Amino acid sequence: MRLFAKNKKTAGWMAFVLDHAEIRVASIKRAAQTMPSVESIASYALGEGISEKLFEKIGKELHADNYECTTLLSPSEYQLLSVEAPTVPREELKTAIRWRLKDMLDFRVEDATIDVLDVPVAKDAPVRSHSMYAVAARNQVIEKRQTLFAEAKISLRAIDIPDVAQRNISALLEPEGRGVALLSFDADGGLLTVTFGGELYLSRRIDVSLAQLNQATGDEKNAIYDKITLELQRSLDHFDRQYHFVTLAKLFLAPMSEEGVKLQEYLASNLYIPVDTFKLETILDLSKAPELKATDMQQRYFLTLGAALRLEEKVL
| 56 in a structural domain | no
Confidence of residue 312 (pLDDT cuts 50, 70, 90): low
- Whichever domain contains 115, its CATH number is 3.30.420.380
How far apart CA 281 and CA 298 sit, in angstroms, is 10
- Asked if residue 182 and residue 102 are part of one domain, the reply reads no
**Strand, coil or helix: what is 288?**
coil
The DSSP line for 40-60 is EEEEEE-TT---HHHHHHHHH
- The angle that helices 218-242 and 257-268 make with each other, rounded to 10 degrees, is 60
**Tens of pLDDT, residues 225-235:** 999 999 999 99
How far apart CA 148 and CA 38 sit, in angstroms, is 25
- Asked if residue 236 and residue 135 are part of one domain, the reply reads no
| 63 in a structural domain | no
Supply the pTM of this predicted model. 0.92
**Tens of pLDDT, residues 37-89:** 999 999 999 876 777 888 899 999 999 999 999 999 999 999 999 998 888 88
Q: Would you say 133 and 84 are in contact if contact means Cβ atoms under 8 Å apart?
A: no
Q: Would you say 29 and 285 are in contact if contact means Cβ atoms under 8 Å apart?
A: no
Q: From 205, 227, 239, 206, select the one nearest 79 (Cα to Cα).
A: 205
**Tens of pLDDT, residues 92-124:** 888 888 888 988 998 899 999 999 998 888 776
Domain count, the chain: 2
- Whichever domain contains 258, its CATH number is 3.30.420.40
> What's the sign of the alpha-carbon dihedral 63, 66, 72, 73?
positive
- Residue 251: domain span: 166-278
| 185 in a structural domain | yes
Q: Would you say 48 and 108 are in contact if contact means Cβ atoms under 8 Å apart?
A: no
- Asked if residue 259 and residue 217 are part of one domain, the reply reads yes
